[in-house]
Structure 1
């Protein structure tokens, strides 16, 4: 069989494509929300419950789905998840109550929790350590690129046929993505088109202390007792409220505070996601810049996270600016900053844990992240009508700085991975 040079990059691009569909589907509700709320009479508080159901299911689902992926394998596991979330997305069109939407969002959230664990695990097994951050950034571009594509596509579907049609179209894309993934994805050991030279290059660049033998089993307890896990988990808990706000509340902010029409939403709401794409891509290169200049791989990641946290502070000015276009710019800069640091936080799971633990670790850290999203979303739903969006943007300006401090305190770069928190702290 004919081999393909640089085959690893085709694999990470494949993950990126599926991730684009994943995030397009989840973002569709935020774009359609003003229309749905107006057509169905669902209140903002009820809308926050719908969003929270997705976030709760996603939070619970990430460690479970991560373990499922580590156990059953990337190819079959991700295909099953994509089919489930595609059908659940299409199911949105069958209901017009907040309870019905919440039910569909719950199924969707649980299965969509596969995206980030799959992406980081793919990067960890297909790439040497020095390229892992860049690979993670490329696949993670799918999160913001999918969210960027959602506004024009969903707005067009609503204007053309109605909000129900938007979910039928977006859900169908997931079913197509599942087929594409199952046909084309292979692990390195099964990839017949991978050249011998590239296979050797990948293996030579991996950390020996993170390799496994076939008898090793994934243990939640061995992960949860490590300080490295809690450093990543707490940092992601503090970081992800920003992404949830951009995905689920910014379209409403644009309508109610900036007085944008649906067409203006389609014109401007994708900009934060375009900037987020650039943040994903920049993450790996910024870390590589410091790594090439003598900083260790882990310290290079932490420096990159800190830079993103400092940049993220500019989103606080959204609370005081009056120019709507300046507000769009600041939120867009927030999208760049968040994905710059979020990609780092996710990649650390592949840098610090063994290969058979990566999806589980990323899923567990993702549960921490979405716990932060869920809590922040409930606060917005309960109090935004009383105090407006301003205080929430101010809070987002400081969360990541605290997260950076936590990472520097907790993360330890050890060549042998301890399994007990107490042993690490001695």
Structure 2
């Protein structure tokens, strides 16, 4: 609580370095590549039909294979990020996911594609917790929402650029080249991150003014930790209602988000009649809107905190409002025109991104110490990506049974409303967790 209140009196010095913004934009590039890698299959798959004959259920299983690995490795990934720090965790993760992306070019059928997607999920699992840890380490509370919106928007940018990039590469060469090229880009980024990243106290380019601004503004570091809280085992975090609410709420958000990562391109092609050109041009609109709205929401949230509004009210308004807006996805399959569906999907995706910015700010807001930011990020991301396991399979099965997107979109839209109610009624006050001491 002290950390959050301290930020009100801190002002940005006019003359100081701005290394924290270099760091977060570099993380943004990493997340963009991360999501480009995972989203590329969804874009390429409709054009792989000559070599792959897959039912909608099989496609759902392949999409889910990534999330089975990605999800269950989140628990270890969060702990690992807190243990080794962002420099090592992000570098190793990027190398692994890039190698497995390149291996996708050499698959020969359902099972080899399933295996490669599973391994890709393992490699990508530390990325979000690492990014949340970077924000907690490098940014004061009054800049946390915008910094979070920057790296989190990498997920949208990666998905957006996947459409034109993958379709262009497929048109000029083949789908095999897609995975070789974007995998190589990840290896280059890993080298840059290893060369550039250091924690603030160790970074050679930072001056005393920026370091003081970061530390005094509420950044989570060892110097501000409660020694007793820092000793808490990560498993003990599951005893707190706040953490459980964050896990369930993020699951609800991702139940909708993963439609855009998996079946969205196929929806535009099969349900709305988009060809290769239309998919590359118009299919990017919801993602572009989401990126812009996420940045604006982050700026406004930070401005509200600086103006004296409580972090609790700001985060709750952002998350509950975003999830409520995301529920309009249920109407996209009902409208008669493609442009109407695209407009509704743009509103839904943008609203969900606004909510996601607030959700990913929470680990730094509520962690009992700096040693738990990655762990809380891993826990809530573990729960959220259970949706990545179930949602693609659910959509695939319902499509095979009904031949329509009406029922799948209605269900995930309802889940978004449930998530909004969770954050409104159950989360509680947004402040660092006070550890429960045993009763003597």
Q: Mark yes or no: TM-score above 0.5.
A: yes
Any residues of structure 2 matched to 1:127-276 within 5 Å, and which? Answer: 127-206=139-218, 211-212=224-225, 216-217=230-231, 219-276=233-290
- Return 5+ residue gaps in structure 2 as ranges: 1-14
What is residue 375 of structure 1 aligned with on the other side? 390
Q: Is residue 76–residue 182 contact of structure 1 (8 Å, CA) maintained in 2?
A: yes
Residue equivalent to 2:119: 107
- When residues 221 and 419 of structure 1 are mapped into structure 2, their CA distance, relative to the original with a 3 A threshold, is farther
> 1:9-30, CA deviations, whole angstroms, 9 ceiling, x for partnerless residues?
1111110011111111111001
Between the aligned partners of 1:235 and 1:38, the Cα distance in structure 2 is: 40
Distance in structure 2 (CA, Å) of the matches to 1:26 and 1:421: 42
2:371 is the alignment partner of 1:360: no
1:392 corresponds, among 400, 404, 408, to: 408
- 2: CA distance, partners of 1:333 / 1:128: 30
Question: In structure 2, how many angstroms separate the alpha carbons of the residues matched to 1:209 and 1:153?
Answer: 39
Residue in structure 2 matched with residue 296 of structure 1 by the alignment:
310
| Aligned equivalents of 1:79, 1:264: Cα separation in 2 | 36
Say which SS state the counterpart of residue 114 (structure 2) adopts: helix
Aligned with 1:312 (options 316, 326, 332): 326
Are 2:27 and 1:15 equivalent residues in the alignment?
A: yes
**What's the secondary structure of 1:5's corresponding residue?**
coil
Aligned residues: 421
Q: CA deviation at 1:280?
A: 2.1
Other-structure match for 2:3: none
1:397 Cα shift?
2.4
TM value normalised by structure 2: 0.91
- Mean CA deviation greater in 43-52 or 397-406: 397-406
Counterpart in the other structure of 1:346: 360
How many angstroms apart in 2 are the aligned matches of 1:33 and 1:380? 16
Deviations 1:172-229 (A, max 9, x none): 1111111111011111111111110111011111178993267834622221111111
Secondary structure at the aligned position of 1:413 is classed as: coil
Q: Which residue of 2 aligns with 1:410?
A: 426
Do structure 1's residue 45 and structure 2's residue 57 form an aligned pair? Answer: yes
Deviations 1:212-263 (A, max 9, x none): 2678346222211111111111111111021110111011111111011122
Q: Matched residues in 1 for 2:267 and 2:244: separation?
A: 33
CA RMSD of aligned residues (A): 2.1
1:415 shift after superposition: 5.7
Secondary structure at the counterpart of residue 412 of structure 1: coil
SS of the residue aligned with 1:356? helix
Tell me whether 1:58 sits opposite 2:58 in the alignment: no
Partner of 2:349: 335
Task: Report the 3-state secondary structure (helix = DSSP H, G, I; strand = E; otherwise coil) of the residue aligned with 1:357.
Answer: helix
Change (3 A) 1:305 1:322: same
* Pair 1:166–1:124, CA change in 2 (3 A): same
The answer to whether the Cα contact below 8 Å between 2:46 and 2:266 also exists between their aligned partners in 1 is yes
- CA distance in 2 between counterparts of 1:418 and 1:37 reads 55
Asked whether the equivalents of residues 308 and 338 of structure 1 are also in contact (C-alpha less than 8 Å), the reply is yes
Residues 375-408 of structure 1 show CA distances to partners (whole Å, capped at 9, x for unaligned) of: 1211111111222111222223232222122123
Shift of 1:287: 2.2
Instruction: Give CA-to-partner distance per residue, 1:75-112, whole Å, 9 cap, x none.
Output: 11110010000000000011121111111111111111
